[in-house]
Structure 1
Amino acid sequence: MVSSVGERLVITSPATGAVVGEADCSDPAAMPATVDAAREAGRDWEAMGFAGRTRVLLSARRLLAERAESAIATIVAETGKPWEDAQSAELTFGLLALGFWARRAEGFLCERGRRIRSPLGLGRSASVAYSPCGVVGVISPWNYPLALPLADALPALMAGNAVVVKPSELTPLSSIWIEGLFADAGMPPGVFSVAAGDAEVAAALIDAVDMVAFTGSSATGAKVMERAARTLTPVNLELGGKDAAIVFADADLGRAADRCVYYGMLNSGQTCLSVERVFVEEPVHDRFLALLADRVRLLRQGPPGGPGSVEIGAMAAPGQHRIVTEHVEEALAAGARVVVGGPGGGAPGEERFHRPTVLADVADEMRCMREETFGPLLPVTRFSTEEEVLRRVNDCTYGLAATVFTADRDRWRRLAAGIEAGTVSLNEPVAHFALMDLPMNGWKDSGLGSRHGREGIRKFCRAKTIVGARRGPSPAPHLYPFSRWRTRVILTALRATFRRPRRGSGRS
């Protein structure tokens, strides 16, 4: 939670209401100067080369490991999430990402020769080089205040850019903590900076930077894109999701229940990749529902008191409790039933916690099956055939990820080919986020562009094609002055070359 006092943000714990820190608000009017300073610092950072930048990131990784408890405590204080959620989904990701980008960035971006297959390229050399955009504005949300800024900042930095992070005004402390970590690791001043504040600060940042990487809701992402269009600033959008888990009768039901509960309730369900819809094959529906209920009943909820204290923490954003409650109440009014939990939670008027809830007998048109809930809610429905479940899973405006629980790999591949989502996993939701060799893409309203992999760093670059001249004589019959004879010769040559399909012409 946050309140504003003068030009400072006062941050309170969503779990306890206690003040946990303060942050200076950035002045939107000063944003052009902030970005200019970052651009100047970025020139020296780029000049350090991959070797110099790698040394800084590996030093930051060592310091992050040494200061792990401090990082976790900062995250827990401003989000109200359990210690283990901060450790597994934020600290661990940060350590992996620092090492990954330090070691892989150069290979993704080094200038490479490109084979030219066109006959017009005969005798020419060609290569593609990647240059940094300049200053990247990273606008990050409140649900993962350490992992998500790093997910975009690290590849941008290793590409040679400077980065200005605009964290959520609810959770700026983790980004400020990262800024201090990088400074201690030897990153030059101004290369990574934090601009705390509200939507006005974000708008000013978008106007000033060379590229924007935004993570957040689809509605806000559309506003970011609209603002960036005024200056033709490139954007990458990682937006909302309504990820489905499909459980077939031949699946390991215990494993599937464990993972649906964990990845549905992780971070109180406040994860874009959360399991938010569960489709269960008819013959095992009732048994699987009982397995889910047994596991959810064991979950402890409350203010995090250190390692091992609770599984479910607080709702980090004001209003999120209301959205979850509305989804549950609307479903119940339309005929769904509560298996575990129910609407709301805590004392009357308390909006810090929503009880973990499992709903059965839900219909596809209910809000809990169509809109992003972003809370500790698992709506469960049944299906009969592959064709039916594929149609129903795809009847959604989001397309971030989906998981198929089955022992039949051929079935999984069939569904993976048909599901309209950026990632389709077998028997393991969400885990692909840590597989940074692979791009993570959002389809439909779930985003624009890629995160991770070579795609996830090249987006922070300007590609340059470098074409060499032919060796030796270079006849150019197409140049001025035109002549009837040369035109006929060229046309005859074109007909002779292209009137019959060439062997291998179907290859790219």
Structure 2
Amino acid sequence: MRGIISSLWGATIEIRNPATEEVVGHVPVATAGDILDAVSQAREAQHCWKRLSFVQRAQILGRFHDLILDRREQILDTIQSETGKARRDAFAELITVAGTARYYLAHGAQHLRAKRHRPAVPIITSAETVYKPHGVVGLITPWNYPFLLGIADALPALLAGNAVAIKPSDLTPLSAVLARNLLVESGLDPNLAVVVHGGAEAGAELIRHVDYIGFTGGTEAGTKVAVAAAERLIPLSLELGGKNPMIVLQGARLTEAATGLIAGAFSNSGQTCISVERVYVEESIYEEFARRVVEKTAGLKLGWSNSWDMDMGSLISRPHADRVLSRVERAVDEGARVLVGGKRRTDLGPSFVEPTILANVNDAMAISREETFGPVVALYPVHSADEAVARANDSEFGLNASVWAGGERRAREVARQIETGSAVVNATLLIYNSFDVPMGGVKHSGIGRRHGEHGILRYTQAQSIVSSIASGAGYDSLLARIKNQRTANAFVAALRMWRRLPWIR
């Protein structure tokens, strides 16, 4: 099929299910020439696409929304086959893509509409901003949510009039290919959404040709993407790593907070950019909260199947499971105590790691500073909310936070003090399904925002258009008439008066 770019006799990537190590597919590795051809084809198709109305573009994406719901079993099977995740975690990807599509179908036209502004000279001049597509948007997507992140960011880009070129992770490319094929089945020109496969070299080559780059992944790789984009002076957005804190204060409903932590820490086996990894709990409730968390964690069911009864699936690979366990072992060597979990479950498969709760952890330990990206959480007792906030902010990351307190007002006050791109009150992962709210990181957690108005306008260039209903009405001609001090003084007096006339400010 057009848009799945490969050389005829080129190398291929073998895809394995990490839960079983069964081979589930192959994809072709794109050469530099293949990637150039793919972007060139996308750019040519985009010239026609951008001239369509929003309504015409939305008709295709509306069909895509309905089609992914109709094909949900195929999609869930594909996601699970290359990630080893639990079925409900795969389902979370599906419903979030549907939610993203639904939001931008309903609100995208409003976000893209030309905006009127206060002009330089009221009444006789006007000003507006229009939004134009970049051209070809490149998306480099990760393995942890291959269907969601493989296509959700492409939807607003397409609605804004761009073409997209997607480079999915070489561990999980099948979901992105399926998503793209469903777009084509919905009526999209195949060249408007192209998929190229390969490792870091393919991503670097993609950046050399596209007009915008969006990257989701680790901070180290994201820094390299930023440098490559800067060399070409193309705009970009980055969602990078996190070491996300949760704060539990006296008065919080502990059972609900414990349940929230389980969801926030162990959904997708902890392989989520906004997963909770640090929990700061006021001393007066620490022991009881820890007891409830341990009890709930011990009751989680691990395994891999197409049924809905598993709470946690496999990690993405043996090497990643090794890295997660090495973090736990190092923490224990440094004095941490495992309250529950902490072991590999080889009886289930090569890459299963038990959900793990750690105590006796201090801020100097690597487990407190470095992103684990697995099912591991550290609990920290604190004296006060102020201490919790200070320790939560003592991080190079700033993606998401969670706050639980006796009242929502107090929780919001605490949330505003946390140095993150988002903070959630009385929940943990709610930000990702809040489609009207911008989501992204500060510090080393990224640049830019997805979702909401920000999430579609990032795929456009703003052009300001100012005009005059009469020649000589602008500042340029007015300044040309100032030829002596008296006229300049009169002009200054007019400016002073202008500030005091609210109806023409």
Specify if TM > 0.5: yes
Report Cα offsets for 1:6-29 as digits up to 9, x if no partner: 511110100000001111211123
Matches within 5 A, 1:30-41: 30-41=34-45
**Structure 1 residue 473: deviation in Å?**
6.1
2:479 aligned partner: 478
Report Cα offsets for 1:398-429 as digits up to 9, x if no partner: 10111111122332222122110011111111
Taking structure 1 as the reference length, the TM-score comes to: 0.93
2:73 aligned partner: 69
CA distance in 1, matches of 2:229, 2:85: 33
CA distance in 1, matches of 2:300, 2:495: 71
Mean CA deviation greater in 314-323 or 139-148:
314-323
**Structure 1 residue 151: deviation in Å?**
2.6
CA distance in 1, matches of 2:241, 2:162: 27
CA distance in 1, matches of 2:95, 2:77: 14
Matches within 5 A, 1:179-194: 179-194=180-195
CA distance in 2, matches of 1:206, 1:472: 45
Structure 2: which amino acid aligns with 1:422?
A: G
Q: Secondary structure at the match of 1:465?
A: strand
CA distance in 1, matches of 2:72, 2:127: 46
Q: Secondary structure at the match of 1:425?
A: strand
2:222 aligned partner: 221
Report Cα offsets for 1:427-478 as digits up to 9, x if no partner: 1111121111110121101100010011111010010111111447638242
| 1:110 lines up with 2:113 in the alignment | yes
Report Cα offsets for 1:211-233 as digits up to 9, x if no partner: 00000011110000111111111
| 1:312 lines up with 2:312 in the alignment | yes
Structure 2: which amino acid aligns with 1:296?
A: T
Matches within 5 A, 1:438-453: 438-453=437-452
| Identity across matched positions, percent | 36
Structure 1 residue ranges without an equivalent (≥5): none
| 1:331 lines up with 2:331 in the alignment | yes
Structure 2 residue ranges without an equivalent (≥5): 1-8
Structure 2: which amino acid aligns with 1:177?
A: L
1:497 aligned partner: 495
CA distance in 2, matches of 1:258, 1:181: 36
Matches within 5 A, 1:254-273: 254-273=255-274
**Aligned in 2, Cα 1:124/1:383: closer, same or farther, shift over 3 Å?**
same
**Structure 1 residue 343: deviation in Å?**
4.5
CA distance in 2, matches of 1:365, 1:499: 60
Report Cα offsets for 1:3-53 as digits up to 9, x if no partner: xx9511110100000001111211123322211110111122222221111
Check whether the contact 1:322–1:351 (CA below 8 A) recurs between aligned residues: no
CA distance in 2, matches of 1:252, 1:335: 30
Q: Secondary structure at the match of 1:251?
A: coil
CA distance in 2, matches of 1:241, 1:319: 20
Check whether the contact 1:315–1:351 (CA below 8 A) recurs between aligned residues: no
CA distance in 2, matches of 1:299, 1:361: 23
Check whether the contact 2:20–2:350 (CA below 8 A) recurs between aligned residues: no
CA distance in 2, matches of 1:49, 1:327: 52
Report Cα offsets for 1:137-181 as digits up to 9, x if no partner: 000000000111223101100000000100000000001101210
Q: Secondary structure at the match of 2:55?
A: helix
Q: Secondary structure at the match of 1:440?
A: coil
1:24 aligned partner: 28
1:392 aligned partner: 391
2:250 aligned partner: 249
1:128 aligned partner: 129
| 1:416 lines up with 2:419 in the alignment | no
CA distance in 2, matches of 1:180, 1:371: 37
**Aligned in 2, Cα 1:495/1:340: closer, same or farther, shift over 3 Å?**
same
Q: Secondary structure at the match of 1:339?
A: strand
CA distance in 2, matches of 1:41, 1:60: 19
2:82 aligned partner: 78
**Aligned in 2, Cα 1:252/1:227: closer, same or farther, shift over 3 Å?**
same
1:356 aligned partner: 355
| 1:366 lines up with 2:370 in the alignment | no
CA distance in 2, matches of 1:411, 1:99: 33
**Structure 1 residue 197: deviation in Å?**
0.9
**Structure 1 residue 248: deviation in Å?**
1.1
| 1:237 lines up with 2:238 in the alignment | yes
Taking structure 2 as the reference length, the TM-score comes to: 0.94
Matches within 5 A, 1:267-286: 267-286=268-287
CA distance in 2, matches of 1:325, 1:49: 52
1:155 aligned partner: 156
Check whether the contact 2:151–2:180 (CA below 8 A) recurs between aligned residues: no
RMSD: 2.2
CA distance in 2, matches of 1:11, 1:190: 25
1:341 aligned partner: 341
Check whether the contact 1:328–1:343 (CA below 8 A) recurs between aligned residues: no
Check whether the contact 1:26–1:201 (CA below 8 A) recurs between aligned residues: yes
Q: Secondary structure at the match of 1:249?
A: coil
Structure 2: which amino acid aligns with 1:325?
A: L
1:428 aligned partner: 427
CA distance in 2, matches of 1:159, 1:455: 12
2:3 aligned partner: none
Which of these residues, 90, 100, 112, is aligned with residue 93 of structure 2? 90
**Aligned in 2, Cα 1:473/1:492: closer, same or farther, shift over 3 Å?**
closer
